[in-house]
C-alpha cells in the first residue's frame, strides 16, 4: 500500500510532477467506479494524479453543494491501496482566487440540454474547472467514466476544440450486481428507494433490447418498465447521437446512446447505455 502525497497548492503540484502523467479528476466520496478509473490511469502512465475537489461552480443555488458527501480520509486510504502517488486537494480559494470567476468555458447549446436543462450553468462550471485542472496538471491522459456521458462528450469536444495535447480515455460504467450504476449519491437512498432505483438500468436494458425495432419502440420499451415504479419521477429519457449528442429521429440507424435521469425520493440519478438501432 502506498501513502499518497497530498498536494494542496498549484505550486506544490507542478514542482512534484515529471514524466508522463495520467489524471483522474474527482469530487471525492470515492467508490469502486472511481477506482476503475484509477486502475485505467495506471495502465496509461507511470504516474497517476487524482484530484479531489467539490467544485462550487457546477452547483446551482438549490443544489446539494453543502450536502455533497466528503470523505477525505477514506478516499486517501482507497487511493493508497491502488498505488496512487499524488492526490491534489486544493481549496476553493486556491482554484478560484477571484470569486466570482469572470472567465468561464461555455458548454454551448448541448450544455443546456438534458442535465444542463435541469441544472442551468452546470456544464459551464464543469468545463471551466476541468480546463483549469488540465492546465494545472498538464497530463498526457485524463480518465473519465462513461456514466456521465454528457460530461464525457463535452469534455472531449473541449479538448479537441482547444487543441489540448491530452488523450481523453473513457471507462465503462461500473454497476452494482443488480445493475444500479455506482454513484456517490446512491448513499442518499433509503432501502425502498434503493430497490426502486434498479428500474433505471432495467429501463435502459429494455430499450437496448428493442433497438432492432427502431427509436420509438426502444423508448416505449423503457417507458413501460418505468411505469411500474411509483417512486421514480422521470426527468428525461432520450436517445442521442454519439457524435452530436442531439436526439436522433425515428429514421436513425446505427450506434446511439440512451440517456435517462430521474429523481428517486429526493435523490437525482443519471444513467445511460449504448444502443444499436437497426430498424
Q: Which of 241, 234, 250, 52 is nearest to 153 (CA)?
A: 241
Which residue in 28, 34, 127, 193 is the catalytic one? 34
| Contact criterion met (CB below 8 Å) for 55 and 178 | no
Q: Which three cell numbers stand for residue 179?
A: 445493475
Is position 34 annotated as part of the catalytic site? yes
| Contact criterion met (CB below 8 Å) for 33 and 145 | yes
Cα–Cα distance for residue pair 146/169, rounded to 1 Å: 10
What radius of gyration do the chain's Cα atoms show?
19
| DSSP letters spanning 224-257 | HHHTT-TTEEEEEEEEE-TTT-SBP-TT--EEEE
Which residues are known to be catalytic? 34
Amino acid at each position: 500500500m502506498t501513502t499518497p502525497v497530498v498536494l494542496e497548492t498549484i505550486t506544490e503540484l507542478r514542482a512534484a510532477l515529471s514524466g508522463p502523467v495520467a489524471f483522474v479528476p474527482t469530487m471525492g466520496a470515492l467508490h469502486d467506479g472511481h477506482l476503475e478509473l484509477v486502475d485505467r490511469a495506471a495502465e496509461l502512465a507511470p504516474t497517476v494524479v487524482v484530484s479531489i475537489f467539490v467544485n462550487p461552480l457546477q452547483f446551482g443555488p438549490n443544489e446539494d453543494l453543502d450536502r455533497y458527501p466528503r470523505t477525505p480520509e477514506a478516499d486517501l486510504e482507497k487511493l493508497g491501496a491502488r498505488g496512487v502517488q499524488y492526490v491534489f486537494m486544493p481549496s476553493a480559494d486556491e482554484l478560484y482566487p477571484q470569486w466570482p470567476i469572470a472567465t468561464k468555458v461555455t458548454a454551448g447549446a448541448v450544455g443546456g440540454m438534458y442535465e444542463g436543462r435541469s441544472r442551468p450553468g452546470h456544464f459551464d462550471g464543469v468545463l471551466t474547472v476541468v480546463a483549469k485542472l488540465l492546465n494545472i496538471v498538464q497530463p498526457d491522459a485524463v480518465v473519465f467514466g462513461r456514466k456521465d456521458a454528457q460530461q464525457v462528450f463535452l469534455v472531449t469536444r473541449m479538448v479537441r476544440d482547444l487543441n489540448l495535447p491530452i488523450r481523453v480515455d473513457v471507462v465503462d460504467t461500473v454497476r452494482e450486481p443488480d445493475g444500479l450504476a455506482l454513484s456517490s449519491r446512491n448513499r442518499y437512498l433509503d432501502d425502498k428507494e434503493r430497490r426502486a432505483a434498479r428500474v433505471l438500468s432495467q429501463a435502459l436494458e429494455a430499450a437496448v433490447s428493442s433497438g432492432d425495432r427502431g427509436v420509438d419502440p426502444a423508448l416505449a420499451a423503457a417507458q413501460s418498465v418505468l411505469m411500474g415504479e411509483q417512486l421514480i419521477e422521470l426527468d428525461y429519457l432520450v436517445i442521442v447521437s454519439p457524435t452530436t449528442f442531439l436526439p436522433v429521429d425515428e429514421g436513425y440507424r446505427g450506434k446511439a446512446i440512451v440517456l435517462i435521469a430521474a429523481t428517486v425520493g429526493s435523490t437525482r440519478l443519471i444513467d445511460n447505455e449504448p444502443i444499436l438501432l437497426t430498424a
